[in-house]
A and B are shown apart, each in its own frame.
Chain A
Amino acid sequence: MPGIPTSNILQPGAISITGGVNRALVSQLQLLKPAYYKTYTEKYGNEDFTWWLATYGGMEKAENRDYFWFENRGKLMVAVTNLNLVSTPAAGAVVTGLQISAADYYSSTQTPLRNGETVRIASNQVEGVISALNTTTPGAFTFSVTPKRVDQAFAGPTGSLLAGEILVFGGDVDAGEASNYIEPLIHLDQKYQNSITELRESWSATDLAEMTAVYYDNGVTGDSVVGGQQAGTSLFTYKGLVKSNTRYKNYVEFKLMWGDTVTNPLITNGTVGSQGIIPKILQDGETVGYTPGTLDIQKLHEITRIMKVNGCAIQNMWLMDIFQKQNFSDGIFKEFPAGAFVWGQGEKSEEASVAYGFQNIFIDGFMLKTKMYANFNTEYLTGKTPAVDRFRDFGVICPQGEARDAKDSTKSYKNVTVMYQDPPAGGTTGNGIRVWEWGGGSRNPTDGQMRDHVEQIMYRGSRLVAANQFVIVEAA
């Protein structure tokens, strides 16, 4: 009689090992209990880079995609530049055939020249009056100036009226008896505009991914968006959603800070982009170059001279990249020996008040609060080191002031404002951000596929007024 089948019973059920059971056998049998740390570790710290715009800029709602504002075109007091050399005019003699440089024309037939205007030569304050004005040829108006003193020539210190001499207007003074009216000087406005752009982010995960438990159960910093929680329970996918949200906030900040308009016709999605704050300052603000390692008090004087000319506010924030911040600390710190430091604001020796570390400096009537804005450095943001980084050795001085509305002086605008448009209704909207969920696997089941999608969109742009008061300090 055949025996009972036992092929399904494994043998051997035991083995013999010299020295007895060892760790390798336990590992081979996959019986090792994993020893792990249950807390997730974020080794690069807090990577939410959005603090400056939120704390410094205002927020304002725009009714349309494109918005504009008006600023004064130039300084209130007028001056023009002499175009051609006039050699040694005689004392008391009328200087004829004068022309101004092309930059002093608003259009080819519009200049500030007025018959009867007093003009003073900037180099020696010799005073004259425009006694004739010929506006026949557009872009080439000629005028004559009669010096007011008979013993003075209308000329600079060299005895000639040089090309490039600045003639400062002095108004209709010494108007004389039974004087007639003078043509008015009309204050000009300049229109500036920018646009809202579309900023979007998406997150998705499958049903199984969201159902999978992982080793760690805490340590994730950040929040998922309001109205955009995941449907499953996995901390891994939850972390992904939270990090996606943080990254989205950073993208928005960076677009508003240094993004630009979209003008390439090859991009056909209907967007026009938005000019960021830094491109606006690079275009309309002032730029001061420096050589790394030579950022010292003399360079600060050069900067404050420019700030004075441009009517900058007294209090300013100076955002610097990592390298410039260190240059600044070394360049200014070494001017003042150890022990001479006092905290800035409100202290007696304000002109010498630099606190190493936080660093306020009060110089030439301006308070400069220096802050490291490490977002300028690609290494800090991404961990990659470009050979040439646009914002390395870079900083921007921002006035902490306000600009008055040209029509209503009771209103004022912050220098930097984040403009936003309300998104269409639907989902959850807060602070101009629309969040919605979709997909069969989401908390809002919309179709048969078991995927959980979380979408976010916002419409933002920036408005930077009085860009001339901002100063870029960068290495060449």
Chain B
Amino acid sequence: MARRKDIELSMGQSSEVSVSTQLMEEQMASSLALEDARAKQPEESPYAKTQTTEYVVFKLVNTNRKGRCNVDGIDDVINPKTGKMERIRLLTGIDTIWQSEQKEISADYVKQNRRSLQFEGKYLRIPKWDTSALEYARTCRSFIESPTYKQRGSRHAFFEWNPARMAEEKAKLNGKKMQAMRYALEAKGDKMKQHAYFLGVSPVDEIGIPKNDEAIGNDYFAIAERDPVRFLESYESPKVTVSFQIKKAITEGKLDLGRQQGSVYWAHNGGFIGQIPVGQNAHDYLIDLALGHTKEGKNFLSILEQISS
């Protein structure tokens, strides 16, 4: 295939773009100077720190926000040293944020050099060397750990993103998941079924046929994997046994819920158990009654255990 450079060659023209030797040498000198300058800086200097470009990340609490959020660079906050409300201002070129310490700064300078904290996509990254911005972020009322936030709240609340803590929490959750799944695999018989029903596993399948133990066990395991926290909170809890007994008593007609709207009676002797509060269902009410510390509750639990055995 004929190429342009073939044409140029045959016409006696060079197709190469030449870069002058002098320019190359100047560029090399600049590169070397930059490298040497970096090498000479002690590690503690702010300039050296810019090279590692470490950032502190903050995240908006409101995860619904997709647009940008600009947090103003002027705020009135409680000074932790004095305990009084003071004004802070984040200004370019000024290393303190406290207005009381920003001496001899003209109003024009303040106007021209105001800064804001800009959250893009819910995140704000501040380089570690920008100490005044970091101090402002951690002091302003929108920072959820600041004393001013605790008093007044903020519409632009944000927190410091801590990936180490997130990883730690995630590891804990994974640990709980493994533990829950192990318990679910080891549990058998009535104990497994009682806990499964408590967690919401249906005793029948989608067409109404009662499930066998293996099917219930499968669903039980799935809940352990999906919601290990709830699984472990209720594992071997007395609430599970009581819940099962109450459900069985209702199903077998030993507890009469139909005699009077909003009340529960014993079916065998018509004895009054209690009045169900408005907005609560009978099952939850009876669990609370049985596990409560009232005389009526203890009495109810005692009879319930007798009729269940």
Contacts and interface: CB of A to CB of B under 8 A. Distances in A.
A42 interface: no
B103 interface: no
Interface string B254-290: 0000000000000000000000000000000000000
Interface in B219-276: none
Interface size grouping (class) on chain A: 35 or more
B35 to A, nearest CB: 6
A150 to B, nearest CB: 6
Contact of A159 (B31, B74, B140): B31
B63 to A, nearest CB: 10
B27 interface: yes
A59 interface: no
Interface string A434-476: 0000000000000000000000000000000001100000111
B67 A285 contact: yes
Q: Interface majority SS on A: helix, strand, loop or mixed?
A: loop
Interface in B120-173: 121, 125, 140-142, 152-156
Nearest to B116: A302
A476 B67 contact: no
A234 interface: no
A294 B67 contact: no
A48 interface: no
Nearest to A150: B19
Nearest to B71: A289
A85 B55 CA distance: 12
Given A90-B31, A291-B72, A283 B51 contact: no
Contact of A291 (B53, B68, B74): B74
A159 B33 CA distance: 10
Given A87-B51, A88-B35, A388-B153, A151 B27 contact: yes
Contact of A158 (B50, B64, B68): B50
B67 A467 contact: yes
Contact of B71 (A178, A284, A476): A476
B85 interface: no
Contacts, number: 109
Interface size grouping (class) on chain B: 35 or more
A294 B65 contact: no
B111 to A, nearest CB: 5
Contact of B140 (A151, A287, A299, A476): A476
A88 B51 CA distance: 10
Contacts of B69: 286-287, 289
A72 to B, nearest CB: 14
B293 interface: no
Given A151-B19, A476-B71, A476-B154, A287 B24 contact: no
A126 to B, nearest CB: 12
B142 A476 contact: yes
Contacts of B31: 88, 90-91, 153, 159
Contacts of A177: 3-4
A476 B38 contact: no
Contacts of A289: 69-72, 116, 142, 155-156
B38 to A, nearest CB: 7
Given A88-B34, A91-B27, A286-B68, A476 B121 contact: no
A287 B118 CA distance: 10
A164 interface: yes
A291 B72 CA distance: 7
Given A88-B35, A289-B116, A476-B140, A294 B74 contact: yes
Nearest to B25: A151
Interface in A126-179: 149-153, 158-160, 162-164, 177-178
16 contacts: A151-B19, A153-B31, A158-B34, A164-B55, A164-B125, A287-B67, A287-B69, A287-B156, A291-B74, A291-B76, A298-B112, A302-B114, A302-B116, A306-B68, A476-B72, A476-B75
Interface of B: 1, 3-4, 19, 23-24, 26-28, 31, 34-35, 38, 50-53, 55, 62, 64-72, 74-76, 111-112, 114, 116, 121, 125, 140-142, 152-156
Interface of A: 85, 87-88, 90-91, 103, 149-153, 158-160, 162-164, 177-178, 282-291, 294, 296-299, 302, 306, 388, 390, 467-468, 474-476
Given A91-B31, A467-B67, A476-B72, 20 more contacts: A88-B31, A91-B27, A103-B121, A150-B19, A151-B26, A158-B50, A177-B3, A178-B3, A287-B69, A287-B156, A289-B142, A290-B74, A291-B72, A291-B76, A294-B74, A299-B114, A306-B70, A388-B153, A390-B155, A475-B155
